[in-house]
Amino acid sequence: MSKSITPVSSKAQFDKLVKETPYVVVDFYADWCGPCKQIAPLFQQLSETAAEIESVKFLKVDTEANSDVAAAHQVTALPTFMVFKNGKVLEKIQGADPRKLQSVVQRLAAEVLAGGGASGGASSSGSGSGSGGVWKGAELPRGYQDITDQIESKGCELLNADDDAGSVRVLFDGSKPSALDKTEGVKDWVESGEDDQLLLFMPFQAMLKLHTLHITSLPPSDDDDEDAPMRPRTIHLYTNKPHNLDFAEADDTPPTQRD
């Protein structure tokens, strides 16, 4: 087993590590579990990537040898991955979902590094940021959660986008927009091309209901030229289809919501 992963041999050891380590990522597995073996190399790779971060530990729990640990944390499917922050469960992933596991660990690492956690300490985010190190311009409504990691980014399309701006993927990046810090050279925005319309196709990994869309747009400054891009004014939402609409189809299709 990789040196970056700590094998758990008892409940006392597990409880001690979770209590004393700011961030803990746990892989609950069994030797007979095929999906566990398939995703194990990714878990090892992620642990090695975060090996320099002292405030993060990666653990592996053999559920056959440590059934008391599995029972205490209601592990009913294998593999199950759990992320603990300051002793409390932050995330729980059931099943071999490499994309979600990677996304969760990347957000965790970003949060730790943003708080200076590479030297062992972790701090909470300030105003305008959310859990998992993902920047948010406003707090989530009570009872709702960020579902950015449920977007199939490879299937996303943005029609009529200006090639000189960023790609469609920047829309789902968790970093703080560079314009807020007046940072130049980072193409982390999108802009329409020939006319003032954009058409975004955004498939999800599961059936979801959206409550809030978060769009960051800055007003023009006094020194902006007359050709400064217009800010979004009208947004049409459509029911997802297997493929993106074109602009003609969108014009002929009543939106489910208009803002």
Cβ 125 vs Cβ 134: under 8 Å: no
What share of the chain has pLDDT > 70, as a percent? 86
Reported as type and span, the H/E element at residue 83 is strand 80-85
- What fold is seen in the domain 5-133? Glutaredoxin (3.40.30)
Residue-wise pLDDT tens digits, 23-47? 999 999 999 999 999 999 999 988 8
> How do residues 56-67 score in pLDDT, each as one tens digit?
999 999 999 999
Nearest to 41 by CA among 29, 32, 53: 29
**Domain map (residue ranges) of the chain:** 5-133, 140-259
By annotation, the residues acting in catalysis are: 33, 36
Is pTM, for the whole model, over 0.75?
Answer: no
Burial class from Cβ neighbours inside 10 Å (0-12, 13-18, 19+) for residue 114 reads middle
Q: Of 17, 100, 115, 107, nearest to 59 (Cα)?
A: 17
219 half-sphere exposure, CB direction, 13 A CA radius:
2
Question: Minimal CA–CA distance to 101: which of 71, 70, 124, 79?
Answer: 79
Coil vs helix vs strand at 36: helix
